[in-house]
């Protein structure tokens, strides 16, 4: 049995062509260079396949509409964002009301108390016709005629001027409701003596509340709450619009593909 000598023949042929400066297909190197330039620049490689006959049967396979992008769950995300916005709105309002309620310092009148005011500025005195203090509920008429309120800085003994509140403000915080009646200007942080009494005749025992920046605090809480709510609605609207637009285009493309697959002109 003769050994197979195809490898030897190939090697000897390659050696002869190499000595002549040719490639294995017996072409000159310059021809190879021209073919490379034509392939890169002339687009010789960019040729379509020739048409060929189809063997067997071609069956139509309906496409899965559940795979349309973006997914329908994006609508659920938009609804969730709106719920989060409403929760933030309610939480911010509740936090603002709670802070405003806790910032009010209460005293009973007629009577007096020493109150520590943490910062200088204008303080508003409110009359609470419905209130709760020291485990006791108070419910009195909306008018307290003849009430006099004196404010003195304890450190200096200086009597501060009291004047009617610049704006009328009413509030209702849980079991407490009141309205602004007077105001005074505290020159510095410290302890202030506040005494309230009726002039000329006796009156009912009522609750007074003293606070600073209550109106601004509640207004700020409302604005923040509205911003959170409107922002969530805007984000949800954008997500809904983008999802609807893209899904609509995807369905149109899907219908066109189905029409082509079915062979419908």
CB of 75 within 8 A of CB of 243?
Answer: yes
- Distance CA(99)–CA(218), nearest Å, equals 9
Query: What global pTM score does this model have?
Result: 0.56
Helix (H) or strand (E) holding 231: helix 214-262
Strand order in the sheet with 111-117: 111-117, 190-198, 147-153, 158-160
- Distance CA(219)–CA(203), nearest Å, equals 34
Q: Show me where the domains of the chain are located.
A: 16-47, 103-215
Task: Read off the pLDDT of residues 191-235 as tens digits, 9 standing for 90 and up.
Answer: 999 999 888 777 888 999 998 887 778 788 888 889 999 999 999
**Fold held by 103-215:** Jelly Rolls (2.60.120)
Residue given tokens 């984000």 in the structure block? 235
Task: Read off the pLDDT of residues 131-167 as tens digits, 9 standing for 90 and up.
Answer: 888 888 888 887 777 888 999 999 999 999 999 988 8
CB of 97 within 8 A of CB of 218?
Answer: yes
């Amino acid at each position: 049995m003769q050994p197979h000598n195809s490898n030897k023949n190939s090697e000897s042929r390659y050696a002869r062509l190499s000595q002549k400066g040719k490639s294995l297909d017996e072409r000159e190197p310059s021809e190879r260079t021209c073919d490379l330039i034509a392939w890169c620049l002339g687009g010789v490689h960019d040729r379509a396949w020739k048409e060929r006959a189809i063997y067997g049967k071609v069956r139509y396979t309906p496409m899965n509409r559940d795979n349309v992008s973006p997914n329908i769950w994006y609508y659920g995300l938009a609804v969730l964002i709106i719920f989060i916005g409403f929760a933030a709105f309610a939480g911010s309002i509740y936090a603002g009301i709670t802070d405003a309620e806790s910032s009010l310092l209460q005293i009973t009148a007629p009577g007096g108390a020493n109150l520590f005011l943490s910062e200088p500025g204008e303080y508003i005195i409110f009359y609470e016709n419905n209130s709760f203090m020291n485990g006791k509920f108070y419910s009195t008429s909306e008018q307290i005629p003849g009430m006099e309120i004196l404010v003195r800085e304890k450190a200096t003994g200086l009597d501060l001027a009291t004047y009617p509140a610049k704006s009328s403000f009413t509030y209702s915080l849980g079991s407490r409701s009141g309205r602004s009646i007077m105001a005074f200007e505290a020159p510095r942080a410290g302890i202030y003596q506040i005494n309230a009494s009726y002039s000329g005749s006796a009156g009912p025992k009522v609750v007074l509340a003293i606070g600073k920046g209550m109106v601004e605090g509640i207004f700020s809480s409302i604005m923040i709450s509205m911003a959170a709510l409107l922002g969530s609605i805007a984000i949800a609207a954008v997500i809904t619009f983008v999802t609807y637009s893209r899904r609509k285009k995807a369905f149109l493309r899907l219908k066109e593909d189905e029409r082509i697959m079915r062979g419908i002109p």
